[in-house]
Amino acid sequence: MRKPDAPLYYIATMIPADEEDETRITKHRKDRESYGFETIEAGRDILAAVRMSDKRGTFLLDSVTALLANEMFPADGRAEPDAYIKVADDLAQLVAEISDMVIVSDFIYSDAYQYDELTEAYRRGLACIDRRIAKICEAVIEASAGVFFVYKSAAQ
C-alpha cells in the first residue's frame, strides 16, 4: 500500500535504438510527470539505478522484458545467454528491499512458432525470471485487454 508522503518512481528499462524510440520515451516521460512519477532510467544494472532512491517509495518497473533484452543483447553485439540469472537475482533483491513495487513483464509465450536458439533462450530466460519473481511477490496479476486474472493475491 502506497504511503501518502512517499515518492513515486518509474523504473524505465527501454534503451532507445532510434529516433522513434526517443520520441516514444519523451512522450511517456511527459505522461508520467502528470502522475507525479520520478523516472529512473535503468536499461541495465537496475540495482545501481535505484541505489539513491527512497526505498519507502512506490516503484513501477516497466519492463522485465526490455531489461532482459538489454542485459542479454548488449550494444557490443555479443549475446549473454545466462543474463536472465543476473536479472532474476537483481529483481529478487529489489523485491526484498522495497516494500511497494509493481513489476511489469510481457507475456510472449502464446504462439507456437519455433524461433532460433537465441530467441528461444531469451523466452526461456524470461519465463524463469517470471516464475522466480512470482514466487516471492505478494500478488501476481495478468492484465490483458482490460481483463484481469489474479493468480496470487496478498488477500488470499
**Which domains are assigned to the chain?**
8-152 (3.40.50.300)
Closest CA to 94 of 146, 125, 143, 129: 129
Q: Is residue 46 within a helix (H) or strand (E), and if so which, with residue range?
A: helix 46-50
Mean pLDDT over residues 135-140, rounded?
A: 93
Mean pLDDT over residues 74-84, rounded?
A: 92
Closest CA to 142 of 103, 101, 113, 94: 103
Residue 98 to residue 116: CA distance in whole angstroms: 37
To the nearest whole number, what is the mean pLDDT of the chain?
A: 90
Q: How confident is the model at residue 9 (pLDDT cuts 50, 70, 90)?
A: very high
**Omega of the bond prior to 63 within 30 degrees of 0, cis?**
yes
Mean pLDDT over residues 141-156, rounded?
A: 86
